[in-house]
Amino acid sequence: MSDTNGHARKLEIEWEDPRSAAARGLELAGIDYVRGIQAGELPPPPIALLLGMTIVEVEDGRAVFGVRPDERHYNPIGVVHGGLAATLIDSATGCAVQTKLPAGVGYTTVDLNVTFVRPIHADTGDIECEATVIHSGSRVATAEARVRRVSDGKVLAHGTSTCLVLG
């Protein structure tokens, strides 16, 4: 693909085996696993590299992810695809839930609800998704999240997630 001047854009990423990282993660308490990824001690999942997402903050029952939207996130109508906000919400809520889990226990998302309230563009600037756990039970956990523009705090999307606790 080329821009209007004929200049092609290219994205190249490298990643480590995500199954190996996940197996190592099961040896740690959930919060330590997420903090290990944040600190660069454990490899990030390939989706984070592909989309340019980073873990900004982690604490018990809370996770903040960040990304700077750019052209690679665009859909055919010329705005950032809603999947970016949905992926931020799914990732941040999942990691917030993971911070509550002991070693050897995992989770999977079973329900994700997203509401988009403002369009996101390449010139939106940095955005962050802050997620907090609402309920953390032995079989089910729920969390909520808000995607905000960092420059002014305006909400761009918000959502909730239900996770099945595995272990």
For residues 46-66, average pLDDT: 98
Architecture per CATH, 18-166: Roll (3.10)
Side by side, the strands of the sheet bearing 155-166 are 54-59, 62-67, 127-136, 140-149, 155-166, 106-116
Q: What is the per-residue pLDDT across 109-164, written as a single tens digit (0 to 9) for each?
A: 999 999 999 999 999 999 999 999 999 999 999 999 999 999 999 999 999 999 99
| Per-residue model confidence (pLDDT) at position 1 | 46
Q: What is the per-residue pLDDT across 67-103, written as a single tens digit (0 to 9) for each?
A: 999 999 999 999 999 999 999 999 999 999 999 999 9
- What's the Cα-to-Cα distance from 5 to each of 70, 122, 155, rounded to whole Å? 18, 19, 35
Q: Phi and psi of 48, rounded to 5°?
A: -65, -40
pTM: 0.94
| Per-residue model confidence (pLDDT) at position 160 | 98
pLDDT band at 6 (very low <50, low <70, confident <90, very high): low
